[in-house]
Homo-oligomer: A and B are copies of this chain.
């Protein structure tokens, strides 16, 4: 019997299972990917987010954020992101290059309805995230649909690296129908 990391199909299935587990299980490695963007002035940026949806059929990922956050400004200027997950148990790194569309306000109301109250606390910070404040806790949280933004990340390319005894790297591209290609690690 072959191991999952020995075939392109096996790696592709494993990385999607991992992403799906991230959505379902708050302790799974893919619960908290990092998402890299390019700032308005051209700097690479990366920070942790919560993975809210992962849809294998469409190759889509979903992340929620405050519309006044720096990452929204970055994505408005350049709607490109890379999500990164490291699963230390499986020894699998997943990098998903995405084109991002944003939905907010009334258009995001259906998704907002399903955000539980503790989660809503993350959307609607005054002053906006990253603004200087006089003391550590000199900010207010006022959960607000108007502050809520959904980042719909359409994956264009996945780069997966298995860091087992022998390293294996595979790249899967949407326009090739995710066929997969082995690459030097």
Contact of A44 among B37, B93, B159 (CB under 8 A): B37
Query: Which residues of A132-148 are within 8 A (CB) of B?
Result: 132-139
**Pairs across A and B, CB under 8 Å, 27 listed:** A6-B136, A32-B86, A34-B84, A34-B86, A36-B45, A36-B82, A38-B44, A42-B80, A43-B82, A43-B97, A44-B44, A44-B45, A44-B46, A44-B80, A44-B81, A44-B82, A45-B97, A46-B46, A46-B84, A46-B95, A48-B86, A125-B184, A128-B184, A130-B159, A130-B169, A132-B181, A136-B170
Residues on B with C-beta less than 8 A from A42 are: 38, 78, 80
Q: Interface size for chain A: under 10, 10 to 19, 20 to 34, or 35 or more residues?
A: 35 or more
Q: Is A129 an interface position by the 8 A CB rule? A: yes
Contact present for A133 and B183 (CB under 8 Å):
yes
Which chain A residues (3-57) contact chain B, with CB distance < 8 Å? 6, 32, 34, 36-38, 42-48
Cβ of A184 and Cβ of B34 under 8 Å apart? no
Cα–Cα distance between A6 and B43 once the two chains are bound (Å): 29
A134 touches B37 (CB 8 A): no
Contact, CB under 8 Å: A185 / B97: no
What are the nearest 10 A-B pairs in CB distance? A36-B46, A36-B44, A36-B36, A139-B184, A136-B168, A46-B84, A127-B184, A131-B184, A44-B82, A136-B182
Number of identical monomers bound together in the oligomeric complex: 2
CB A62 to nearest CB in B, in angstroms, measures: 18
Q: In the assembled complex, how far is the CB of residue A38 from the closest CB belonging to chain B, in whole angstroms? A: 5
Say if the beta carbon of A177 comes within 8 Å of chain B: no
